[in-house]
């Protein structure tokens, strides 16, 4: 009885492996370099320009503050030998205050830019996903994988250029 059960189970596993292999051989599989498409799509470039324009005034202010801090540090190094202790202390306090002001502006700016960038990237990823689905449907592909998840793929199964072309036409 045990032998019969084991042989039935073994036969079932062997049969399912054979059918699975033949079913997989009939599927059309393609890959897409999503990161590459993302970097090359015209919407990505315009997104970067839009975000830079949106935060330009604050970035300029941070840059100006950073240059002011560097100037005061150089001044302290150059002139500390000829300054009184009170003047050195006053300049050091000024530099510390400027650094704190700079830091209080840099961190929120970076966080806001990252949040805004993530918001826009999500929209672009949705565009890429729609383009991938349309391209896969047009080519009658059953499965589309990310290129970085595969070790090797023949160039004719790489849909990256087609997806880039499709996503470039989308808005």
| CATH number for the domain that contains residue 135 | 3.30.910.20
Mean pLDDT rounded to a whole number for the chain:
86
- The partner residues of 29 in beta bridges, in order of sequence, read 143
| Weakest-pLDDT range from 11-25, 51-65, 113-127, 140-154 | 11-25
pLDDT of residue 96: 95
Percent of the chain clearing pLDDT 70 (strictly above): 85
pLDDT in tens, 80-126: 889 899 999 999 999 999 999 999 999 999 999 999 999 999 999 99
pLDDT of residue 107: 93
How many distinct helices (H) and strands (E) make up the chain?
Answer: 6, 2
Number of residues written out for the chain: 171
Pairing type for strands 143-146 and 29-32 reads parallel
Q: Please give the pLDDT value at position 17.
A: 52
| pLDDT above 70 for 5 | no
Domain count, the chain: 1
pLDDT tens per residue across span 53-63: 999 999 999 99
Q: Which residues constitute the domain of residue 78?
A: 2-169
The half-sphere exposure of 15 on its side-chain side, counting CA atoms within 13 A, is: 6
Q: What predicted TM-score, i.e. pTM, was given to this entire model?
A: 0.67
């Amino acid at each position: 009885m045990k032998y019969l059960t084991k042989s039935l189970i073994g036969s079932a596993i062997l049969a399912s492996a054979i059918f699975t292999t033949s079913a997989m051989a009939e599927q059309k599989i393609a890959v897409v370099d999503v990161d590459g498409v993302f970097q090359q799509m015209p919407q990505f470039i315009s997104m970067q320009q839009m975000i830079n324009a949106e935060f330009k005034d604050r970035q300029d202010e941070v840059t100006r503050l950073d240059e002011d801090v560097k100037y005061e540090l150089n001044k302290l190094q150059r002139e500390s030998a000829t300054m009184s202790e009170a003047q050195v202390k006053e300049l050091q306090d000024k530099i510390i205050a400027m650094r704190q002001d700079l830091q209080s502006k840099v961190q929120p700016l970076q966080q806001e830019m990252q949040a805004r960038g993530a918001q826009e990237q999500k929209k672009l990823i949705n565009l890429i996903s729609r383009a991938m689905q349309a391209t896969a449907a047009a080519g009658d592909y059953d499965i589309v994988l990310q290129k970085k998840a595969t070790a090797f793929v023949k160039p004719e199964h790489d849909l990256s250029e087609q997806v880039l072309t499709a996503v470039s036409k989308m808005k």
